Amino acid sequence: MTRIVEQGSDVAPVKDFSECDRLELEAALVAIGEPAFRGRQVFQWLHQRDVVAFEAMTDLSAPLRARLKTEARISEPTLETKQVSSDGTTKFLLRLADGRHIEAVYIPDTPNQTFCVSTQVGCAMACGFCLTGKMGLIRNLTAGEIAGQVRVLARETHLRTSPFNIVLMGMGEPLHNYDATMKALRILADPQGLAVAPRRVTLSTVGLVPAIEKLAQEEVMPNLALSLHATTDEQRNALVPINRKYSLTQLMDACRAFPRRRRGRITFEYVMLNEVNDTPDDARRLARLLDGIHGKVNLLPLNEAAGIPYTRPSDTRVNTFARILADHGVTVSVRKSRGRDIRAACGQLLVEGTEARV
């Protein structure tokens, strides 16, 4: 919360309405002597009509608009640059209020329109094949900054009134920033706002087991994607360091206990690294790991990048791996990399020259 000095008064707080869900906005307006429905109107202006200027909220009285302009603010990430891939994928560089930067991605025709958004500046998980992990964790995003990315992307792609999906697969580990991430999803799901149904949202995690167990109790529950990437603890300890704290056995048990909706299933993301985790034995172990779990596997041949000490496997190795999984009754697909030419593909988001670890 920032502070301003009002003429003839003590220092007074300026409330950032972008950080409030609808009930909090209703309470904020009641606190200044207005009826609760005024807060609901502000929420609708911001999230349904994409209006961030109080003076443009014309169903509020002129005195109230003037007061809110003085005593409150609405912030959102600022678009600095965007790059468009040859396949239509668009990467957005967004500047936050404190000068930090994040990246978000629009992926068209997947077959739906999809926004890939970030939940942290950098990431603490340090997965060995991910450029974002090279940044380390700089800070968590707020709920307003997470939801704000969706508003910016919806505006820039002219999709605000059209259906779109959201994947929390950008910079950061969503469950490492649990409270802000879940609050952002509640804001986005509110029927008075963008009304993004939880079934249209997928949250990707590397496997923070206690947070997965907590997520299983949420009323607003997104689809779950698990970044697995290995079939033994030894292998996963090297590739995904959080596995040293939460083993494959613990992780698979949490997945088996995770509630699923009708027709829903857990997605297991598996980045394939040449001659590291892409052997026929790996495929057979993966099939055994997933036994009894209603899930599917997305195989992601590595998106190579400078600083990543692995290479992309051949199509033959990928197809052999996929065929073994299918022969064992596993639903499997090979994800087509999108936006590789602008470094917008999975594991490639990295803000260079603008951040420093804290």
Residue 358: pLDDT over 70? no
Q: How far apart are CA 65 and CA 324, in angstroms?
A: 63
**Which of 103, 145, 269, 355 is an active site residue?**
103
pLDDT computed for residue 305 by the predictor? 83
Threshold 0.95, pTM exceeds: no
pLDDT at residue 281 tops 50: yes
pLDDT value at residue 341: 56
Range from 8-17, 69-78, 229-238, 272-281 carrying the lowest mean pLDDT: 8-17
Q: What does DSSP say about strands 223-227 and 201-205: parallel, antiparallel, or unpaired?
A: parallel
Same fold, 2-73 and 78-342: no
Can you give the pLDDT at residue 8?
34
Q: Supply the pLDDT for residue 260.
A: 78
**pLDDT above 90 (res 322):** yes
- pLDDT tens digits, 334-354: 987 664 554 544 544 455 454
What is the CATH number assigned to the segment(s) 2-73?
1.10.150.530
**Residue-wise pLDDT tens digits, 113-150:** 999 999 999 999 999 998 888 889 999 999 999 999 99
**Mean pLDDT score, 306-332:** 94
Q: What is the DSSP annotation of 110-169? A: SSS-EEE--SEEE-SS--TT-HHHHT-EEEEPPHHHHHHHHHHHHHHTT-TTS--EEEE-
The Cα angle at residue 54 between residues 51 and 117, in degrees rounded to 5 = 40
Fill in the DSSP letter of residue 312: P
Do the beta carbons of residue 342 and residue 84 sit within 8 Å? yes
103 is an active site residue: yes
Sorted by where each begins, the domain ranges of the chain are 2-73, 78-342
From the list 76, 173, 346, 355, the catalytic residue is 346
What is the per-residue pLDDT across 227-266, written as a single tens digit (0 to 9) for each?
Answer: 999 999 999 999 999 999 999 999 999 999 999 775 579 9
Q: Please name the fold of domain 78-342.
A: TIM Barrel (3.20.20)
pLDDT tens track for 295-311: 999 999 998 888 889 99
How confident is the model over 164-218, as pLDDT tens digits? Answer: 999 999 999 999 999 999 999 999 999 999 999 999 999 999 999 999 999 999 9
